[in-house]
Amino acid sequence: MTEMKAGSCAVVIVAAGSGQRLGHGVPKARVPLGGEALLVHAVRGVLKSGIAAQICVAIPAGDEELTAMCGKLGAEAATAGLAFSVVEGGAQRSDSVYAALAKVAEGVTTVMIHDAARPLVPSGVFNRIAAALKDGAKAVIPALAVSDTVKTVVPANLPATGAGLEKVVGTPARNQLRAVQTPQGFELATLRRAYAHALTLDDEAASRITDDAMLVEALGEDVYVVQGSTHSFKITTPMDLLLAEAMLEGPLRPRWIEG
Ligand code: C5P
């Protein structure tokens, strides 16, 4: 296995999802945005930030196009002095992260886990996470305050007709809520411990895991929060793609710069 300078940072980019909600008929990482696939944007974002010594990408098994794309991205990474590895992802996002973690090189001590589906993350976000890790945090996530009020709901039937709706059972205080993004940064040893613990969870508990930080929270470790970016949104629906295209090419572009 490749050996890195001690204290290096690796970035895992998970790109093995099907992207069914986007309805493009191809894995989401291959969906074009401004003429380049989402995965290309995500990898170049990491290269531009300058924080990583290694990039590990998880792609769907048997995807020849993404394999070829990773060949070219690996050459770009090598030119920038970074190691580049590719692995087959798994059925769940966490399986893809786990597979990619196996490729992290000797000498790496911190890792950021990132979604290929977030192609426009500014360098400032990577830098804020790297700085907090350097300052001793074992887990750091980028987040934004939420602008909508958020309710907790359960299934419920209307009294007269029995029509199936939902009803509100709680309203968390909005000023304490944060919408969480990727990349999420970790001390490598802590994340490996968190994933080892995750392997012991039953299916029900595993299905409630929606980000990597939750696994570290389950260990009782502190997870610190740095400012995220409105540019870091995840491409999930066609509306998101429209917004990303507008950000790259639209009239707002020269006026809208956020780190
Ligand atoms: O599906 P969702 O948008 O939540 O996926 C977030 C990220 O996780 C995407 O970049 C997707 O490619 C990745 N993923 C993965 N393996 C899976 C499922 C999702 O790498 N099995």
Q: What is this structure's pTM?
A: 0.94
> Which residue out of 22, 93, 118, 182 has the highest number of ligand 1 atoms within 8 Å of its CB and is therefore the one to mutate?
93
Check residue 186 and give its pLDDT. Answer: 98
Check residue 199 and give its pLDDT. Answer: 86
Task: Please report, as a single letter, which amino acid is at residue 239.
Answer: M
How far apart CA 177 and CA 145 sit, in angstroms, is 6
Check residue 163 and give its pLDDT. Answer: 95
How far apart CA 20 and CA 236 sit, in angstroms, is 9
What pLDDT digit, counting tens, does each position of 217-229 carry? Answer: 999 999 999 999 9
For the chain, counts of helices (H) and of strands (E): 8, 12
**Among protein residues, the one whose CA lies closest to atom 6 of ligand 1:** 115
Q: Is the dihedral of CA 101, 124, 78, 35 positive or negative?
A: positive
Separation of 95 CA from ligand 1 center, angstroms?
A: 10
Check residue 117 and give its pLDDT. Answer: 97
Check residue 256 and give its pLDDT. Answer: 60
Separation of 240 CA from ligand 1 center, angstroms?
A: 16
Q: Burial code of 147-160, b = ≥16 C-beta within 10 A, e = fewer?
A: eeeeeeeeeeeeee
Task: Give 39: exposed, middle or buried? Use CB within 10 Å, 0-12, 13-18, 19+.
Answer: buried
Residues of the chain below pLDDT 70: 1, 250-257
Check residue 164 and give its pLDDT. Answer: 96
Which domains does the chain show, CATH number per domain?
3-141+179-248 (3.90.550.10)
Separation of 23 CA from ligand 1 center, angstroms?
A: 15
Check residue 203 and give its pLDDT. Answer: 85
Q: Is the preceding peptide bond at 183 cis, omega within 30 degrees of 0?
A: yes
> Which residue out of 13, 14, 69 has the highest number of ligand 1 atoms within 8 Å of its CB and is therefore the one to mutate?
14
Residues with CB under 6 A from ligand 1: 14-17, 28-29, 58, 89-93, 96, 115-117, 234, 236
- Strands 3-14 and 32-33, sheet pairing: unpaired
**Among protein residues, the one whose CA lies closest to atom 7 of ligand 1:** 115
Could you report how far apart the first and last alpha carbons of the chain are, in Å? 35
Check residue 25 and give its pLDDT. Answer: 82
Check residue 173 and give its pLDDT. Answer: 98
